[in-house]
Structure formats: C-alpha cells, structure tokens
Structure 1
Amino acid sequence: MKIVQAKKNNGSSFKFTTKKVALNNPLVLVFGNRYMLEDVNLYTEIKQMFPNGNIVFGSTSGEILGDSVTDNSIVLTAIEFEKSSYIVKSKNVKEFNNNELDLGSQLISEFPKKDLKHIYVVSEGSTVNGSALIAGIEKEKHISIGLSGGLCGDDDRFERTLTAYNESPKEGEIVAIGFYGKTLEITSANYGGWTGFGPERIITKSKGNILYELDGKPALDLYKKYLGEKANELPKSALLYPLSVKTDEDAEPIVRTILNIDETANTMILAGDVPEGSIVQLMMSTVDDIAEGANKAAIYASRNRKNKPELTLLVSCIGRKLVMDQRTEEEVEEVLDVIGSQSKIIGYYSYGEMAPFEGDNACKLHNQTMTLTLISE
C-alpha cells in the first residue's frame, strides 16, 4: 500500500506532509471545512494532482491528519492498493424521495459480492436518517462483509453538509467505497465514554428519527427544561447533552445527538431512529472520559488483528470535540498509542458514526463515539 498525504489551509495551496510519489489508480479521500469545499476550483485542483484518481469528498466539523486536529482546512490522503482493489458508488437522497432505506439497499446491490470485504460510507449528514441508511445496506449485504463510516459535518452550524464522488462537493450525496481482496484485513470498532444522568423516560411518540413525546409530554419542552439557559443555544448546546436510547433491557444503549429542533411542531430531529417504547436518559462526559473512550475504541478495533494497520480512518463526533476543546488532540494521541506510528491516519469530526458494537458484526449508527476503521493488505 502506497500512501500520499497533503493538507491545505484556507487561502493557501496543498502542501504534502509525506513524500510525493506517483500513484496508480489511487483512492483519494478529501475531508475539509464546508466553506473551503464550496470552492468551485477545488475539484479541478485535486484532479490535476491525481489525474487517474477516484476522489471522494466529505465536509467536516474538524479535520484529522496524523496526530493533529485542525479547523478551516482540507486534509487529503491518496492510497494505491498493491494487492487489493476498490469500487466507488454514490447516490443522492433526493433521487429516492429521502427514503434512506431504499437508497441503502440500492447502493449495496450495485457492488459485486465476490471478495468484497468491507463497505466504507461517507454520507450527507445534515438531513439523512443514518439508521435507515444502515438498515438498507445491512438488509442486502452478507453478514461477513464489514460496514463502517460516518455522516459528514458542518462545524457546529448544522446548515448544510457536502459530499461527492469525482465531482464538486454537493448536498444530499451518499458515497460508498467497496474494498476487495483476499489478503485485505479491515476491522472497525467504536466507543464513547459518556455517562447517563437524571431520570429515565419512555419514548411515547416518535416517527423514525423525529422525537415527539417523552412520558406523554412534549420532548422538546422537557429537554429545554433540563438545559435551562443553554436552551437558547439549541441545537448547538444539545451536542453537550446527547440522549442514551435503549430499545429493550438487554440491548446495548445507543447514543443519539440532536441535529435540529422544530419549534413549531415542538419536536427534536435526531441523527438516527428513536423507536417508541425505548428508554431515554440524558448523558454527559468529561475530557478524561472521552480520551479513555478513544483508547478503548482503538483496543477493540485492534483486537484479533493478524497484521498492524497501514491506514487508519477515524470518525469522531463534533460533540466530543466541543467537550475537549483545546485538548481535542488527546483522543487522537490515545488512538496512536494503541495502533502504532506505522499507520497513516486521516479522519474527520462528524454528525454521526457508523460501526458495529464490540463482538457484533452488524453495523449501527452512533453519536458521540470515536470510530476506527483499520486497513492493511
């Protein structure tokens, strides 16, 4: 595997952070600030750098390259696979009338199944129901095929997110990368580090990812009551107090971030499904807990691997970044301590993360977690 990495700050050109070498048919991952991705010349600029590359874009709430976390930048990693291969497909939610379940099913059906090891998703993040998207993919793929990825971000603005495959970044795109190869080893895992507090409540009315009522009362009113003065900063302040959602007593709780609120309907729109009858509780975290969570995620992703990773894809949550603030890089350093310096790292801060729970093959949508996808040939 040959890997070339570069970074672009606002107002400057790309600067290579690794030795620049010629690559054959590289997969080019480009994660960056949404305003910078809106530059009409960006796609042409990258295409000139990698004329035979397949370019995947995703907007972020912060960029990760190596052991550093930056804002208002673009990070780029180009990968030439020497023993493996890849295929990229993309769909737009508008083509499916925002039916993410059908989109996911159609997307996975276009990948040849022979030697398919893993699907990595870079998805629109501001409007998509990530749970439904994953359910559509999981419905059609074999259990042995891995699935991970993330929902793109837009800092803490929640205005619009951009993605694309071999064209200028735009809204509504969902890009999937299929990795093939008999020697290819890909593992993924996630972990949070958040703790529940306050009373548990029952979801008495919801539809998909829209939450209407808790214990028969308007959910948004209750949530605002807990937030106090911070309710005036919604939806940004919700990133600091996500919801733990437990579908039944034996199920692993899933963390859900509030993407937006509807004052008129008195509802909350979350990144994934919140089924009726689920038990809900507010959550909070500390810097040390989040850093420890990143360490555990790296341990889980590394467990039972035969080879050390050559490439590490990180997707962490914007909520974690807001809590850690000036110490954000500590969670990336915790990951490095586990996976080793031999692996090249690229990633971004997101509106949602896709990965299986430890010991499970089925992918789930998470919020407020650190998610790793480790790749070696």
Structure 2
Amino acid sequence: MKTVQLVKQKHKNNQWTYVGENQKLKEPLVLVFGNRYMLEEDSVYEEIRKLFPDGHIIFGSACAEISLNTVNEESITITAIEFEKSNFLIKTSNVLNSDLDSFKTGNELIQQFPEEGLKYVFVVSEGSFINGSQLTKGMNTSTQNNLLITGGLCGDDARFEKTLASYNENPKEGEIVAIGFYGETLEVSFSIHGGWTPFGPERIVTKSKDNTLYELDGQPALDLYKTYLGDKARDLPGAALLYPLNVTSTEEKQSIVRSILNINEEDNAVILAGDIPVNSKVQLMMTNVDNIANASEQAARQALEFRKNKPEIAFLVSCIGRKLVLDQRVEEEIEEVIEVLGNNTVTCGFYSYGEIAPFHGEVACQLHNQTMTITLMSE
C-alpha cells in the first residue's frame, strides 16, 4: 500500500502542499475531504483530476479534515492510496432521487456490490437530508447484518446549511458514495468510543416521529431542553452540540448518543441526527477535553486488539460536537490515536455530522454521534 497526502489552505496562497513524501501512484483511491465553500468552486474536480489523472476521486464536505497528526480547517485535504494486493469498487446513490427514503437508499446502495469476496465498505454520505438511522438499517438489511460497514455523514462546520459529496465529478447535494474493498489478504478492524457522561433526570419519550422529538414525559421537548440550557439556549441549535442526548430504546441492547441538529420552534420540537423511538429513555450528556482525548486513545487500542498485522492506514471519523468541545486543543484526540497506532500508520479522515460503525463486538452498523470511529486496514 502506498499513500500520498496533500493539503491546500484557503488563506495560504491556495497552493497544494505535500504532507510527507510525493510518490507516483497507479490508479489510486483519492479521498478528498474539505471545507464546503472550497468544494463548491467549479474548478475543484478538474484541479484534482490533473494531480491524479487515473485516480478514483471521492469528495466529501467536512467540519475539518484529519491528516497524519494534524486537523486542517478552511482547507482541502487529499489522501491518495494505491492498493497492491486488493481491489475496490465504488458505487453511488442520491437520496434526493429516492424521495428522501433513507432506508431504500441504503439498501439499494449496498446491493450494487457483488457479494463474492466483499470484505468491507467505507461510506461517505451526504449529511443534510439523510436520516442516518434509516440509512444504516437499509444497508444492514441488504447484507443480512454480516458485512462490516463504517464511515460518516459529511459536514458543513457548525453552519448546517448544506453538505456535498461525489465520485469523479464536482461535489453535489444528496450524494452518497460507498467504497467496497475486496482482497484475500485484506485485514480490517474498527472501534468506537465517545467519552460522554449522562447527567440529570432520565425522561421518557412520549411523542416522536422518526428523528423528530416532540415530547418528553408529556412536556414539549424544546421547552424542556431550553430550561436545561438556561442562558445557552440563545445559541441554539449550535449550543445543542455540547449537550447531546443519551438514548436507550427498547429496540437496542446498548444506549446510543444522539446530537440535536436543529430545532423547530413552531412545533416546540428538536430534530436529531437519527431516530428516537417512543418509550425510549433519554438523558442529557456532557464531557470535557480529557475525557474526549482518553476515549480516542481507547478506540485506537481496541481497534488494534485482535489484529494479526500492523495497520497501514487508519480512517478516522470524529464528530463536530467533539471538535467544538476540544476547540483550540482539537489535535489532541488525533495525537492520542497516533501515539497508539505508531507513525507507520497513515491517518486520514474528517469531522462529521454522524459516524457510521457497529458497536464494538458487533457487525451491523449504526449511526452514532459524538464518537471517534477508527477503522484500520492493511493488505
């Protein structure tokens, strides 16, 4: 496996800078994560096509990008990978073309891949229109819950205006890109960790539909949430990323963290990144910088635990909410991961609106919020 990484900063002459060595790659997988405004430039695809004439170029807008031991903002980061023993296949779907049916979109996307030899799928999904819970359920159903799928929902910093993704064309709205990996010697492992702690009273969801929460204990959800936030309620919906919900549903064995992505003043409701079933138990959560960094270290150690070979590349997907808590110390959680994995493992990835991965020890993927998701790969 050979890799090349480049970064272009918006405020630094708009020039590409190589991170590490520059080497010639043959038909590489080219992962391009970047600032949404920069990805909207008409010339972005052609510019990267000139750098990698025979590359398979995948775009995803991000809240920030991860390369080696840094977190890049207001930039575009490229990680190009040449596989020597493995193959990959890329399929796309657009949620806007399926009447916003996220389950159907996920199901049909994974069904496009030939099953024989398929080891793993990495998903770069648009993050504005999709219901991530339904997307992951659809993907699992098409594989009888026995295929490892990880990835994330694209981001747009804390703006939540729109997200973009594409394969071999200029980035666009509604697009979901999946990369299927094939190879006998391919070894893939993963782990996730959050580092958030529940606090305050546990309440019951008494009214909800899909990912919209209307009532807790019979009271309007938004009013209740504003009461908890106090003065910080003025900064909604952004402030909600600092206080996500711990959701324990009757359908799942493990509780799951849900970020509040938006609010609906008219209906006195909050809109979450994924489904919140009626009768679920809900608690507020909080964290600090040390807990987040420690959780990322734990995720890295767990992902390494049962591997036979040293990982050559690590795909990291972390959450916008973690980035807001870490603030100026955002690189600390990446440094913790690298310290565990070692400098010979190339790290790449992005800060997202939602992370896709199974719970540790399971296979069926889920939508998570506020986690660090690590996928390790070697040939």
Shorter-chain TM-score range: over 0.9
Q: For residues 215 and 89 of structure 1, what CA distance do their matches in structure 2 show?
A: 43
How far apart are 1:165 and its partner, in Å? 0.8
Q: For residues 290 and 277 of structure 2, what CA distance do their matches in structure 1 show?
A: 31
Query: Is contact 1:245–1:256 with CA below 8 Å preserved after alignment?
Result: yes
Name the aligned partner's letter for residue 81 of structure 2.
Answer: I
Runs of 4+ residues deviating >3 angstroms = none
Write out per-residue CA displacement over residues 264-292 of structure 1, whole angstroms, 9 at most, x where no aligned residue. 12211111111111000000001100001
SS at match of 2:26: coil
**Structure 2 residue aligned with 1:173:** 175
Distance 1:276 1:55, change over 3 A: same
How far apart are 1:248 and its partner, in Å? 3.4
Q: For residues 336 and 252 of structure 2, what CA distance do their matches in structure 1 show?
A: 30
Counterpart of 1:187 (choices 182, 186, 189) is 189
Query: Is contact 1:61–1:350 with CA below 8 Å preserved after alignment?
Result: yes
SS at match of 1:168: coil
State percent identity of aligned pairs: 57
Q: C-alpha root-mean-square deviation of aligned residues, in Å?
A: 1.1
Write out per-residue CA displacement over residues 180-216 of structure 1, whole angstroms, 9 at most, x where no aligned residue. 1010011111100000011000011111111111111
SS at match of 1:87: strand
Counterpart of 2:223 (choices 216, 221, 224) is 221
Counterpart of 2:77 (choices 75, 78, 98) is 75
Structure 1 portions without partners, runs of 5+: none
Q: For residues 173 and 292 of structure 2, what CA distance do their matches in structure 1 show?
A: 31
**Structure 1 residue aligned with 2:68:** 66
| 1:325 aligned onto 2:323 | no
How far apart are 1:97 and its partner, in Å? 0.4
After TM superposition, the score normalised by the length of structure 2 is 0.98
**Structure 1 residue aligned with 2:56:** 54
Aligned residues: 377
**Structure 2 residue aligned with 1:339:** 341
SS at match of 1:305: coil
**Structure 1 residue aligned with 2:283:** 281
Q: Residues 310-321 of structure 1: matches in 2 within 5 Å?
A: 310-321=312-323
Q: Residues 1-377 of structure 1: matches in 2 within 5 Å?
A: 1-10=1-10, 11-248=13-250, 251-377=253-379
Write out per-residue CA displacement over residues 11-40 of structure 1, whole angstroms, 9 at most, x where no aligned residue. 412111132222111100000111111111
Query: Is contact 2:121–2:180 with CA below 8 Å preserved after alignment?
Result: yes
Structure 2 portions without partners, runs of 5+: none
Query: Is contact 1:298–1:339 with CA below 8 Å preserved after alignment?
Result: yes
Name the aligned partner's letter for residue 2 of structure 1.
Answer: K
Q: For residues 66 and 337 of structure 1, what CA distance do their matches in structure 2 show?
A: 11
Q: For residues 25 and 231 of structure 1, what CA distance do their matches in structure 2 show?
A: 50
How far apart are 1:251 and its partner, in Å? 2.2
Name the aligned partner's letter for residue 115 of structure 2.
Answer: K
SS at match of 1:333: helix
SS at match of 1:229: helix
Name the aligned partner's letter for residue 123 of structure 1.
Answer: S
SS at match of 2:318: strand
After TM superposition, the score normalised by the length of structure 1 is 0.98
Name the aligned partner's letter for residue 3 of structure 2.
Answer: I
Q: For residues 82 and 72 of structure 2, what CA distance do their matches in structure 1 show?
A: 25
Q: For residues 198 and 113 of structure 1, what CA distance do their matches in structure 2 show?
A: 46
How far apart are 1:64 and its partner, in Å? 0.9
Query: Is contact 2:146–2:364 with CA below 8 Å preserved after alignment?
Result: no
